[in-house]
Structure 1
Amino acid sequence: MNIAIVPKCAIAAITSATISAVLLAFTASPASAAPINNIVLVHGQFADASGWRPVYDILTKDGYNVTMVQEPLTSLSEDVAATVRVLARQPGQSILVGHSYGGAVITQAGTDPHVAGLVYIAAHAPDEGESTASNKNKIPGKIRTITTPDGFVFVDPAHFHEDFAADLPADQAEFMARSQIPASAKVNTTLITNPAWRVKPSWYMVAKQDRAINPDLERMYAARAHSHTVEVDGAHTIYISKPNEVAAMIEDAAKSLGN
């Protein structure tokens, strides 16, 4: 039997070519990351999770797994616990979204390992040692609220449409005013201890006609967090009045932070 003798230089050439081909196969057509599929939505004060319905409908139609948090609005720690409880049920990482005071909740809860990124919709994003009240005192809004004798806050129904939901029809705003959920006043004075936006990527939507949170305060939050920022026309309720824009920002975050 004849055995062919292959020169060492030929072996080296073949080996080099093989390695190059393998490397090219990996670099020429990298696998595209799948978008994060879980979205967790956190509402603010004076409202409940049902306000997210227009955004929910768009996201679920686009194939996302969407869950809303119903915070008790009794303390920041209990609202954070309610959010973490929902995050723990998700199959994989989530985009965590907060509106209004819900932004303070996701700022505190967002360090949870289930969270890939944060989306703020006309929301508070306090730093360590700050509260929503301390920041609103520095850059005040125009919302008119009433505090009950036992320490709960709600929007004056006579001014709810103008101050909270000016971009919604009057009858819808009237219903929301009569069904609003008062929040314990202490949720506004509780200090943030470990802000997630310092360690997680974030997106921010500014409502340019917001009276509940001053748009300049929203801009400060977004700039400080180095958030991907969009400004839209609308009042505090842009999460209801601008569902297409809000859903688009959430989907952008999910695609950008794909698994």
Structure 2
Amino acid sequence: MMNRRTFSKTFAAGVAASLIMSQKSTAAGMGKPVRARNVVFVHGLFADGSCWSEVIARLQAKGLNAISVQNPLTSLPEAVASAERVLARQDGPTVLVGHSFGGMIVTEAGLHPNVSALVYVAARAPDANEDYAALAKTYPTPPATAGIVFDGDEGWLGEEAFLRDFGGDLPRDKARLLYAVQQPFRKQLLAGKAAGAAWRAKPSFYAVSTEDRTINPDLQRFMAKRMGATTIEVPASHLSLISRPDEITGLILEATGQAG
């Protein structure tokens, strides 16, 4: 019997083999995204599913079905599996949206047949089996990295770094609340590599945070360009989904084929 990781790799390889794989696969090259009414969100490190509340409220007001995955932050295979379970419950085309580390999950889970488009918000966007840490080291290290605190196998972002480098453009009271509810992650999570790269086969969208102190903005631009994503630049911290929800919502609506 296959274990979950073997199944995930086999599933990803099978789907990838059935699709046209090209370095130049772009949203524009594939035409308009399939019209979708479902949006599934994946959060990253130093957060929980509620971080998408501002965007979810705006999508619900437009009549869309929006669900936020509670990412376990334990290992990449477990995080991908949690997203796949939510995707399987959707009743049609679904836009999959990831923030920060959530982009690792979107990249692999986005191969699910229900996913019609991908949206990355200041997110990691690796290629299949790529060492993201090695890629990130080719750019200057962002300030937030120094604020990560470990207690044995668990890690989180310290308060000073959270307020200054993670959500520096948020009201201080709001940032402190978000700091208080962040979910610790396991070290094992950081070692994972995406078994497939859905952005090579599906329309992709990227929101670059130009004032980001958690993921280097130039690294974000590189990943967006490499995937041929429809890209916007938002003058925001790493938490653009909270400080600039209108812009992020607009990009997601474009990915659903319901912009305008």
What TM-score range do you get, normalising by the shorter chain? 0.7 to 0.9
1:23 aligned partner: none
Distance of 1:136 and 1:142 partners within structure 2: 13
The residue type paired with residue 142 of structure 1 is P
Q: Do 1:58 and 1:247's aligned partners in 2 also have CA atoms closer than 8 Å?
A: yes
Structure 1, unpaired ranges of 5+: 1-32
Q: Do 2:149 and 2:158's aligned partners in 1 also have CA atoms closer than 8 Å?
A: no
2:99 aligned partner: 99
Q: Do 1:107 and 1:195's aligned partners in 2 also have CA atoms closer than 8 Å?
A: yes
1:171 aligned partner: 173
Report matched runs for 1:224-239 at 5 Å.
Answer: 224-239=226-241
Three-state SS of the structure 1 residue aligned to 2:257 is helix
- Deviation track 1:231-253 (CA, whole Å, cap 9, x = no partner) reads 01000000111111111100001
TM-score by length of 2: 0.83
Three-state SS of the structure 1 residue aligned to 2:78 is helix
1:153 aligned partner: 155
Identity of aligned residues (%): 41
2:224 aligned partner: 222
1:182 Cα shift?
Answer: 1.4
1:148 Cα shift?
Answer: 2.3
The residue type paired with residue 214 of structure 2 is A
Distance of 2:82 and 2:257 partners within structure 1: 26
Q: Do 1:43 and 1:102's aligned partners in 2 also have CA atoms closer than 8 Å?
A: yes
Three-state SS of the structure 2 residue aligned to 1:123 is coil
1:54 Cα shift?
Answer: 0.8
The residue type paired with residue 188 of structure 2 is K
1:4 aligned partner: none
Three-state SS of the structure 2 residue aligned to 1:41 is strand
Structure 2, unpaired ranges of 5+: 1-32
Distance of 1:39 and 1:192 partners within structure 2: 21
Distance of 2:187 and 2:132 partners within structure 1: 11
**Cα root mean square deviation, aligned:** 1.8
Distance of 2:51 and 2:151 partners within structure 1: 28
Distance of 2:181 and 2:165 partners within structure 1: 16
The residue type paired with residue 241 of structure 2 is Y
Tell me how many residue pairs correspond in the alignment. Answer: 226
Alpha-carbon spacing, 1:61–1:254, altered in 2? closer, same or farther (3 Å): same
- Deviation track 1:133-168 (CA, whole Å, cap 9, x = no partner) reads 223222222213334242222112122111100110
1:175 Cα shift?
Answer: 1.8
1:50 aligned partner: 50
Three-state SS of the structure 1 residue aligned to 2:122 is strand
Distance of 1:158 and 1:256 partners within structure 2: 39
Residue 152 of structure 2 corresponds to residue 142 of structure 1: no
Distance of 1:230 and 1:218 partners within structure 2: 11
The residue type paired with residue 161 of structure 1 is L
Q: Do 1:98 and 1:105's aligned partners in 2 also have CA atoms closer than 8 Å?
A: yes
1:199 Cα shift?
Answer: 1.1
Distance of 1:92 and 1:58 partners within structure 2: 20
Distance of 2:75 and 2:160 partners within structure 1: 26
Bigger drift between 152-161 and 246-255 goes to 152-161
Alpha-carbon spacing, 1:75–1:34, altered in 2? closer, same or farther (3 Å): closer
1:5 aligned partner: none
Q: Do 2:206 and 2:231's aligned partners in 1 also have CA atoms closer than 8 Å?
A: yes
Bigger drift between 35-44 and 223-232 goes to 35-44
1:173 Cα shift?
Answer: 1.1
The residue type paired with residue 251 of structure 1 is L
Distance of 1:153 and 1:250 partners within structure 2: 30
Distance of 2:51 and 2:37 partners within structure 1: 21
1:215 Cα shift?
Answer: 0.2
Q: Do 2:34 and 2:93's aligned partners in 1 also have CA atoms closer than 8 Å?
A: no
Residue 78 of structure 2 corresponds to residue 83 of structure 1: no
